[in-house]
Amino acid sequence: MSRSEDEIRSVARNLLEKNLVELVIGYEDSENGVRPCFISKPDEASRLVWNHECWFNLARYLRIFKNKRVGIVTKGCDGRSIVELIKENQVERKNVFIIAVECDGVYKPVKYGSANRERRIADYCRKCGIRVSPLRDHLVESDGQNLLNKGLKVNEEHALDWLSLFRKCLKCMACVRACPFCYCTECSVEGFKPMLVHRLRNSQELFTFHLTRALHMAGRCVECGACETACPVEIPLTKLYHELNEWFRENYNYAPGMSLEEEPPTLVFKEGEKVEEYAFHK
């Protein structure tokens, strides 16, 4: 057991023993690898683990337990998700105890049945510069192998043929289900009132589906890779949302999930601000 893992268990056990939280959300081992874990008793803290396979974004479960006091193990991207969910009034800060673990990167999950069992760091981790949650109540420092300092370089970004990539889409909605920010009661990309995107899988509908979702994620996505990891045909969705985030950084100097006080640019419009200044024609 690593020191980080031991500390996570100790903090979780203490929170439950003192009734500071009703539930702790973390990770545990299973026959099929690491999975989300929900514990409500102090003696269950021994189930918690921490390693390079803890790639799930646990923030998506906070809305389910919105009315409970919850402790949650977070990576940097998970913590940024929590910040945005608080700003969107989906989570109450007073109800969440954030156990922030210094993240050394996670492995890209091996697809079920794949013959290639090689472990390699996820591409979205290589781009990430946020190793610790910006919002935290307890910090667990890393004592493991830092995959991000291995001299690994991100491949030079090249123009992707998004239309060809979108044609692979099965419209299974796994990306929507995995995302902590896809919580609308009536989903615009799968609802019927109105039906913005048809159920058919032709090229036009697939493009509209992904474009609509990308616009909904603009200025909100924390690039945790949950959608990309869930995709059965491995569409690199995080790269698409990364490009949108770069546009927001350049034009609004804004990065989602970094501050509770900073308002999302999509929700504010300053007097005298010219719309054409931010047109997508550049």
pLDDT computed for residue 156 by the predictor: 45
Q: What residue has token string 């389910």?
A: 64
The per-residue pLDDT for 155 is: 47
Q: What is the pLDDT of residue 180?
A: 94
Cα separation, 170 vs 230, in Å, equals: 12
Q: Which two tokens stand for residue 147?
A: 């995959």
Residue 154: the pLDDT is 44
Residue 62's pLDDT is what?
Answer: 96
Task: List, run by run, the mean pLDDT of 10-residue segments along the chain (282 residues).
Answer: 92 98 97 93 97 93 94 96 95 97 87 65 84 95 68 49 88 91 80 54 80 88 93 91 88 90 79 56 46
pLDDT digits (tens, 9 = 90+) for 115-154: 556 778 888 888 888 889 999 999 999 886 666 655 444 4
Asked if 258 and 84 count as a contact pair (C-beta separation under 8 A), the reply is: no
pLDDT value at position 32? 83
pTM of the shown model? 0.85
Q: Which helix (H) or strand (E) holds 39?
A: strand 35-39
- Tell me how far apart the alpha carbons of residues 243 and 191 are, in angstroms, rounded to a whole number: 27
Asked whether 78 and 31 are in contact (CB, 8 A), the reply is: no
Distances (CA, A) of 265 to 133, 245, 278: 21, 12, 11
Nearest in space to 138 (alpha carbons), one of 50, 2, 1, 11 = 11
Q: What pLDDT is stored for residue 190 in this prediction?
A: 67
Strand ordering across the sheet containing 70-74: 35-39, 23-28, 70-74, 96-101, 138-140
